[in-house]
Amino acid sequence: MRDTQNKNNRNDYASRQQQIIKVASRLFVKNGYHKTTVREIARESGLTVGTLYHYFSSKEEMLTLVLERTSEGTNRIAQKTEEVLSQLGPTQALHLAIEKYFSAVNNSQDQILFWYHDTRALSRDQRRKLLGNEGLLAEIFNRVLIAGCETGEFREHDTMLMSHNIIVLGDMWAFRRWFLRDHCGFEEYLKKQTDMILSAISNEVPVSFRESEARSTRGM
Protein backbone atom coordinates (compact mmCIF):
# COMPACT_ATOMS: atom_id res chain seq x y z
CA MET A 1 0.00 0.00 0.00
CA ARG A 2 2.84 2.36 0.83
CA ASP A 3 4.47 1.67 -2.56
CA THR A 4 1.18 2.46 -4.30
CA GLN A 5 0.86 5.71 -2.37
CA ASN A 6 4.43 6.70 -3.22
CA LYS A 7 3.78 5.96 -6.90
CA ASN A 8 0.62 8.08 -6.82
CA ASN A 9 2.53 10.91 -5.18
CA ARG A 10 5.22 10.76 -7.87
CA ASN A 11 2.55 10.79 -10.58
CA ASP A 12 0.82 13.77 -8.98
CA TYR A 13 4.14 15.58 -8.73
CA ALA A 14 4.97 14.93 -12.39
CA SER A 15 1.45 15.94 -13.45
CA ARG A 16 1.73 19.23 -11.58
CA GLN A 17 5.14 19.88 -13.13
CA GLN A 18 3.67 19.31 -16.58
CA GLN A 19 0.84 21.72 -15.83
CA ILE A 20 3.32 24.38 -14.74
CA ILE A 21 5.42 23.80 -17.87
CA LYS A 22 2.40 24.31 -20.12
CA VAL A 23 1.54 27.57 -18.38
CA ALA A 24 5.15 28.75 -18.49
CA SER A 25 5.48 27.92 -22.21
CA ARG A 26 2.34 29.91 -23.00
CA LEU A 27 3.66 32.91 -21.05
CA PHE A 28 7.11 32.62 -22.64
CA VAL A 29 5.50 32.84 -26.09
CA LYS A 30 3.22 35.70 -25.07
CA ASN A 31 5.68 37.85 -23.10
CA GLY A 32 9.11 36.51 -23.95
CA TYR A 33 11.21 34.32 -21.72
CA HIS A 34 13.13 37.07 -19.94
CA LYS A 35 10.04 39.23 -19.31
CA THR A 36 8.07 36.37 -17.79
CA THR A 37 8.44 36.20 -14.02
CA VAL A 38 8.16 33.25 -11.68
CA ARG A 39 5.37 35.15 -9.91
CA GLU A 40 3.35 35.30 -13.14
CA ILE A 41 3.86 31.60 -13.78
CA ALA A 42 2.74 30.80 -10.22
CA ARG A 43 -0.35 33.01 -10.49
CA GLU A 44 -1.43 31.55 -13.85
CA SER A 45 -0.85 28.04 -12.46
CA GLY A 46 -3.06 28.73 -9.45
CA LEU A 47 -0.12 28.42 -7.04
CA THR A 48 1.71 30.59 -4.61
CA VAL A 49 5.32 31.41 -5.44
CA GLY A 50 6.44 29.31 -2.48
CA THR A 51 4.48 26.29 -3.70
CA LEU A 52 5.85 26.67 -7.23
CA TYR A 53 9.39 26.56 -5.86
CA HIS A 54 8.50 23.14 -4.47
CA TYR A 55 8.37 21.94 -8.09
CA PHE A 56 11.00 24.15 -9.77
CA SER A 57 13.88 26.15 -8.40
CA SER A 58 13.99 28.52 -11.41
CA LYS A 59 12.77 29.22 -14.94
CA GLU A 60 15.96 27.63 -16.19
CA GLU A 61 15.03 24.36 -14.50
CA MET A 62 11.65 24.50 -16.25
CA LEU A 63 13.39 24.77 -19.62
CA THR A 64 15.72 21.92 -18.76
CA LEU A 65 12.80 19.65 -17.90
CA VAL A 66 10.98 20.61 -21.11
CA LEU A 67 14.07 19.61 -23.09
CA GLU A 68 14.41 16.35 -21.20
CA ARG A 69 10.77 15.40 -21.80
CA THR A 70 11.02 16.44 -25.45
CA SER A 71 14.04 14.15 -25.81
CA GLU A 72 12.24 11.30 -24.03
CA GLY A 73 9.28 11.70 -26.40
CA THR A 74 11.54 11.60 -29.45
CA ASN A 75 13.24 8.46 -28.15
CA ARG A 76 9.84 6.80 -27.73
CA ILE A 77 8.92 7.69 -31.32
CA ALA A 78 12.25 6.25 -32.50
CA GLN A 79 11.77 3.01 -30.60
CA LYS A 80 8.20 2.44 -31.75
CA THR A 81 9.01 3.39 -35.36
CA GLU A 82 11.90 0.95 -35.42
CA GLU A 83 9.63 -1.84 -34.17
CA VAL A 84 7.01 -1.16 -36.85
CA LEU A 85 9.68 -0.79 -39.56
CA SER A 86 11.08 -4.23 -38.80
CA GLN A 87 7.66 -5.90 -38.47
CA LEU A 88 5.37 -4.16 -40.98
CA GLY A 89 7.65 -2.25 -43.34
CA PRO A 90 8.40 1.36 -44.34
CA THR A 91 4.93 2.57 -45.29
CA GLN A 92 3.35 1.57 -41.99
CA ALA A 93 6.38 2.87 -40.09
CA LEU A 94 6.09 6.24 -41.82
CA HIS A 95 2.38 6.40 -41.00
CA LEU A 96 3.17 5.74 -37.35
CA ALA A 97 6.09 8.18 -37.12
CA ILE A 98 4.01 10.98 -38.66
CA GLU A 99 1.07 10.27 -36.34
CA LYS A 100 3.27 10.15 -33.25
CA TYR A 101 5.16 13.34 -34.07
CA PHE A 102 2.13 15.36 -35.15
CA SER A 103 0.30 14.25 -31.98
CA ALA A 104 3.26 15.34 -29.87
CA VAL A 105 3.10 18.78 -31.52
CA ASN A 106 -0.65 18.93 -30.91
CA ASN A 107 -0.08 18.28 -27.20
CA SER A 108 2.70 20.85 -26.79
CA GLN A 109 1.93 23.69 -29.19
CA ASP A 110 3.22 26.52 -26.99
CA GLN A 111 6.49 24.70 -26.45
CA ILE A 112 6.93 24.36 -30.22
CA LEU A 113 6.25 28.07 -30.67
CA PHE A 114 8.75 28.90 -27.95
CA TRP A 115 11.51 26.88 -29.67
CA TYR A 116 10.89 28.86 -32.85
CA HIS A 117 10.51 32.30 -31.28
CA ASP A 118 12.90 32.51 -28.36
CA THR A 119 15.81 30.10 -28.72
CA ARG A 120 18.12 32.93 -27.63
CA ALA A 121 16.80 32.31 -24.12
CA LEU A 122 18.44 28.89 -24.12
CA SER A 123 21.91 28.33 -22.77
CA ARG A 124 24.57 26.95 -25.09
CA ASP A 125 24.12 23.48 -23.61
CA GLN A 126 20.32 23.71 -23.94
CA ARG A 127 20.60 24.78 -27.59
CA ARG A 128 22.96 21.88 -28.22
CA LYS A 129 20.42 19.45 -26.73
CA LEU A 130 17.58 20.96 -28.74
CA LEU A 131 19.53 20.70 -31.99
CA GLY A 132 20.54 17.16 -31.11
CA ASN A 133 16.91 16.24 -30.60
CA GLU A 134 15.96 17.83 -33.94
CA GLY A 135 18.72 15.83 -35.60
CA LEU A 136 17.49 12.58 -34.07
CA LEU A 137 13.93 13.33 -35.15
CA ALA A 138 15.03 13.96 -38.73
CA GLU A 139 17.05 10.75 -38.70
CA ILE A 140 13.97 8.75 -37.62
CA PHE A 141 12.10 9.85 -40.73
CA ASN A 142 15.19 9.60 -42.93
CA ARG A 143 15.80 5.98 -41.95
CA VAL A 144 12.21 5.03 -42.80
CA LEU A 145 12.30 6.90 -46.12
CA ILE A 146 15.58 5.27 -47.15
CA ALA A 147 14.14 1.85 -46.28
CA GLY A 148 11.09 2.62 -48.41
CA CYS A 149 13.27 3.59 -51.38
CA GLU A 150 15.22 0.36 -51.02
CA THR A 151 12.06 -1.78 -51.03
CA GLY A 152 10.55 0.16 -53.91
CA GLU A 153 7.59 1.40 -51.86
CA PHE A 154 8.85 4.98 -52.22
CA ARG A 155 10.28 6.73 -55.23
CA GLU A 156 13.90 7.82 -55.14
CA HIS A 157 14.05 11.31 -53.62
CA ASP A 158 16.06 13.51 -51.25
CA THR A 159 15.16 11.64 -48.09
CA MET A 160 16.80 14.04 -45.65
CA LEU A 161 15.09 17.05 -47.21
CA MET A 162 11.75 15.23 -47.06
CA SER A 163 12.44 14.35 -43.42
CA HIS A 164 12.74 18.03 -42.54
CA ASN A 165 9.68 18.82 -44.64
CA ILE A 166 7.66 16.38 -42.54
CA ILE A 167 8.91 17.95 -39.31
CA VAL A 168 7.95 21.43 -40.51
CA LEU A 169 4.50 20.19 -41.56
CA GLY A 170 4.03 18.83 -38.06
CA ASP A 171 5.23 22.04 -36.45
CA MET A 172 2.93 24.03 -38.72
CA TRP A 173 -0.02 22.80 -36.67
CA ALA A 174 1.39 24.96 -33.87
CA PHE A 175 2.75 28.04 -35.63
CA ARG A 176 -0.13 28.36 -38.14
CA ARG A 177 -2.83 27.46 -35.65
CA TRP A 178 -4.40 30.92 -35.92
CA PHE A 179 -5.63 29.78 -39.35
CA LEU A 180 -5.70 26.01 -39.13
CA ARG A 181 -7.94 25.73 -36.06
CA ASP A 182 -10.74 27.36 -38.07
CA HIS A 183 -9.94 25.37 -41.21
CA CYS A 184 -9.91 21.80 -39.91
CA GLY A 185 -9.58 19.69 -36.79
CA PHE A 186 -6.39 17.92 -35.82
CA GLU A 187 -7.44 14.46 -37.05
CA GLU A 188 -8.38 15.87 -40.45
CA TYR A 189 -5.11 17.82 -40.62
CA LEU A 190 -3.12 14.68 -39.76
CA LYS A 191 -4.92 12.63 -42.41
CA LYS A 192 -4.57 15.23 -45.17
CA GLN A 193 -0.90 15.88 -44.50
CA THR A 194 -0.13 12.16 -44.31
CA ASP A 195 -1.86 11.60 -47.64
CA MET A 196 0.01 14.48 -49.27
CA ILE A 197 3.36 13.27 -47.96
CA LEU A 198 2.74 9.76 -49.23
CA SER A 199 1.45 11.03 -52.57
CA ALA A 200 4.73 12.87 -53.04
CA ILE A 201 6.96 9.84 -52.46
CA SER A 202 4.92 6.66 -53.00
CA ASN A 203 4.98 4.65 -56.18
CA GLU A 204 1.25 4.26 -55.63
CA VAL A 205 -0.97 7.23 -54.69
CA PRO A 206 -2.88 6.52 -51.45
CA VAL A 207 -6.57 5.72 -52.03
CA SER A 208 -7.78 8.37 -49.58
CA PHE A 209 -5.78 11.02 -51.45
CA ARG A 210 -7.20 9.96 -54.81
CA GLU A 211 -10.73 10.14 -53.40
CA SER A 212 -10.09 13.60 -51.96
CA GLU A 213 -8.69 14.84 -55.26
CA ALA A 214 -11.66 13.39 -57.14
CA ARG A 215 -14.10 15.20 -54.88
CA SER A 216 -12.17 18.46 -55.31
CA THR A 217 -12.20 18.05 -59.09
CA ARG A 218 -15.96 17.40 -59.16
CA GLY A 219 -16.51 20.55 -57.12
CA MET A 220 -14.65 22.74 -59.61
Give tens-digit pLDDT for 110-149.
888 888 777 777 888 888 888 899 999 999 999 999 999 9
CATH of the domain at 2: 1.10.10.60
Query: pTM for this structure?
Result: 0.79
Angle at 109 between CA 194 and CA 30, to 5 degrees: 145
Per-residue confidence (pLDDT) for residue 163, from 0 to 100: 97
**Domain that residue 28 falls in:** 1-57
Question: What pLDDT sits at residue 6?
Answer: 57
Which of 57, 72, 101 delimits the end of a domain?
57
- What does the pLDDT look like over 144-192, one tens digit per residue? 999 999 999 999 999 999 999 999 999 999 999 889 989 999 999 999 9
Per-residue pLDDT at 212: 45
Question: Mean pLDDT, the chain, as a whole number?
Answer: 86
Across 48-75, average pLDDT: 89
Indicate the burial class of 194 (C-beta count within 10 angstroms; 0-12, 13-18, 19 or more): buried
pLDDT of residue 210: 44
Regarding whether 77 and 143 lie in a shared domain, the answer is yes
- 33 & 112 share domain: no
pLDDT at 213: 44
- Identify the sign of the CA torsion 104, 71, 94, 210: positive
Write the pLDDT tens digit of every residue in 73-100: 899 999 999 999 999 999 999 999 999 9
Q: How many domains does the chain have?
A: 2
- If asked whether residues 71 and 9 sit together in one domain, one would say no
